[in-house]
Amino acid sequence: MYNIGIIGCGKIAQVRHIPEYTDNKNATIAAYYDLNTQRAQELANQYGGKVYPSYEEILADPEIDAVSVCTANSSHAQITIEALKAGKHVLCEKPMATTLEDCEEMVLAAKQSGKFLMIGQNQRLTKAHARAKQLLNEGIIGDVITFRTTFGHGGPETWSIDSGKNTWFFDKNKAAMGAMADLGIHKTDLIQFLLGQTVTETTAIITTLDKKDANGNLIGVDDNAVCIYKMSGGALGTMTASWTYYGEEDNSTILYGTKGMMCIYDDPVYSITVTTASGENIYYQIDKIQTNDNQTKSGVIDEFVDCLVNNKAPAISGESVLTAMRAVFASIQSSQTGRTVAVRQLDKGE
C-alpha cells in the first residue's frame, strides 16, 4: 500500500485525483495540504488521512511515498522539485511549469533523485486515442499528411473550485498562461503521441479576445490559441485551444493521410470514424471523451500507482512531456514576435 499526499485540494484534486486514489486498492491518501485549510479538512473528513500545515511537512514525512501536485501553475516546479529531492515520487498536473527552464529542472531533479515524475496528460490514456494510435501504427490511413486538433470550451470560470471571474486561471501571477497551457498542452502532447513525431516548427497567434475579469477588463492571460505545427515526420497541421466555445465542447482530432482520413471524438456516436481513399467507412464505438460537465475516470492515477507497484518508469514522464512544453513556449515566442519559430527538440541524454 502506497501512502499518497495531496498538495492542492482544488477541483482537479476533488474530481480526479482523490476519488481515483480512493478507488485504487494499492493506494491510500494519507496527507492533504491546501492554502484553504478548511477545504483540506473537509476532504480529510470524507476520505481519511490528515491535514498538514504546510506542503513541506508532507514532504518531510518519511511515511509518504508519493504526492500529487494539484496547485496553481506557478507553483508546480518548486513543489515538484522539492518533492523529488525529498525522495517522493510525483504526479504533477499539467502544465508542467510556467517556464521552459523550470520544466527542464523538474526533469533533471527526477533523474538525479531516481524517483518518478509523471505529468497528468490524460488524453494519451483515453480508449479512443489509444486505439487510434494502434490503427495509425497499422497504417489504416497511410502516412499522415495534415491534421487539425482542437480543444475548446466555455472557460474555466464555471469549473474552477473558486468559480467566477476571480478564478486563479485568469490571474497571470498564478496561471502565467491561459487556454494554451490549460488546453493547448493537451492537444500538443496528443498529436505528438498519435503521430509518434515531435513539433519542430510553430507559427502561432495566442491572444485574448473575449474573457473579462471582475472589473470588465480583458483577462491577463490568453483565451484563444491557434498554432500551425510542422512535425518531425513531415506532417503539417493546426492546434486550436479556446476558452470561448460557448456551446458544446470540441475535443476532436482529424487526421488526413495518404490512404484516407480519421476523425477522433468528432462524431456524437462513434469515437473514431475512418474513411478510406476508396470510400469505405469504418466506425469504432469505443468511449466518450470527458467534458467539464461529465467527469469520468481518467486512468492517470491508476497508471501512476501501477508504476509505483511495478517499479516501472511512467510512459507519461516529465521527460516525454518536455517536448510538448517546448512547443508551447516556442508558440508563445512566435505569437509575441509575429514569426515562425523553430522548436529545438533535444535527443534523450543530450
Return the pLDDT at 288.
76
CA separation (Å) from 233 to 143, 194, 236, 256?
A: 9, 12, 9, 14
Return the pLDDT at 304.
97
Q: Nearest 5°: CA angle at 80, between 75 and 81?
A: 110
The distance of Cα 185 from the centroid of its chain, to the nearest Å, equals 6
Domains, in order of start, for the chain? 2-122 (3.40.50.720), 123-298+324-342 (3.30.360.10)
Return the pLDDT at 291.
55
Q: What is the largest CA-CA distance in the chain?
A: 64
Return the pLDDT at 292.
53
Return the pLDDT at 37.
96
* Confidence (pTM): 0.93
Q: Which residues of the chain have pLDDT under 50?
A: 348-350
Per-residue pLDDT tens digits for 159-185: 766 768 888 899 999 999 999 999 999
